[in-house]
Amino acid sequence: IKTRESGHIQDVELNLDHIEGLGSFVEMEVMTNDVEKGRRHLRSIAVSLGIPDSQVVTVGYVQLVEDKM
């Protein structure tokens, strides 16, 4: 079961997800034609939210569930 709250910071869409059995996650998305610039921007938002690099997950929830099994 997944619950979600959504919002925005600047031009970044944020989704605060809680996945039963996995935990809580912040999903961030920015629309850009410059992938590297977008990654830097998302990283700066993550830093401002206090999210350390060690907590960044780049795979989807399905993969996390499969890895947990």
Question: How confident is the model at residue 41, as a pLDDT?
Answer: 95
* Residue at 40: amino acid letter: R
Whole-model pTM over 0.75: yes
pLDDT class for 69, splitting at 50, 70, 90?
Answer: confident
Decide if 65 contacts 22 (C-beta within 8 A).
Answer: yes
Edge-first strand order for the sheet with 2-9 is 2-9, 12-19, 23-29
* pLDDT number for residue 65: 85
- The single-letter code of the amino acid at 9 is I
Of 20, 46, 22, 41, nearest in space to 31 by CA: 41
**56 Cβ neighbours under 8 A, 6+ residues apart:** 46
Assign 68 a pLDDT band (cuts: 50, 70, 90).
confident
The tens digit of pLDDT for each residue in 12-48 reads 999 999 999 899 999 999 999 999 999 999 999 999 9
